[in-house]
Amino acid sequence: MIHFDKVSKVYPDKYVALEGVSFSIEAQEFVSIVGHSGAGKTTLIKMLLAEDRPTEGKVHYHSTDINKLSRRDINDFRRKIGVVFQDFRLLPRKNVYENIAFAMEAAGRTDEEIEADVPYVLKLVDLENKIWNFPGELSGGEKQRVAIARAIVNQPDIVIADEPTGNLDPINTYEIVQILKKVNDLGTTVLLTTHNKGVVDSVGKRVITMERGKIIRDDPKGNYVL
Q: Which residues bind other proteins (CB under 8 A)?
A: 49, 51, 71-72, 74-79, 81, 83, 89-91, 93-94, 102-103, 105-107, 150, 154
| Backbone phi and psi for residue 120, each to the nearest 5 degrees, phi listed first | -65, -45
Q: How far is the CB of 155 from other proteins (least distance, A)?
A: 13
- In the complex, the smallest distance separating the C-beta of residue 151 from other proteins, rounded to whole angstroms, is 9
Q: Which residues pair with 65 in a beta bridge?
A: 60
- Measured from the CB atom, the residue of 48 and 215 that comes closer to other proteins is 48
Quick one: 96 or 203, whose CB is closer to other proteins? 96
Q: Which is nearer to other proteins, 19 or 162 (CB)?
A: 162
Neighbouring C-beta atoms of residue 173, cutoff 10 Å: 21
Nearer to other proteins, 79 or 182 (CB): 79
Task: Write phi, then psi, for 52 (nearest 5 degrees).
Answer: -145, 155
For other proteins, the closer of residues 155 and 202 by Cβ is 155
Smallest separation (angstroms) from other proteins to the CB of 108: 9
Q: Work out how close the CB of 89 gets to other proteins at its nearest, in angstroms, rounded to a whole number.
A: 5
Q: Give strand pairing partners of 209.
A: 34, 217
Strand, coil or helix: what is 153?
Answer: coil
Rg (Cα) of the chain, in Å, rounded?
17
**Of 139, 109, 113, which Cα lies nearest the Cα of 126?**
139
Nearest approach in angstroms of CB 93 to other proteins is 4
Q: Are strands 56-61 and 64-65 parallel, antiparallel or unpaired?
A: antiparallel
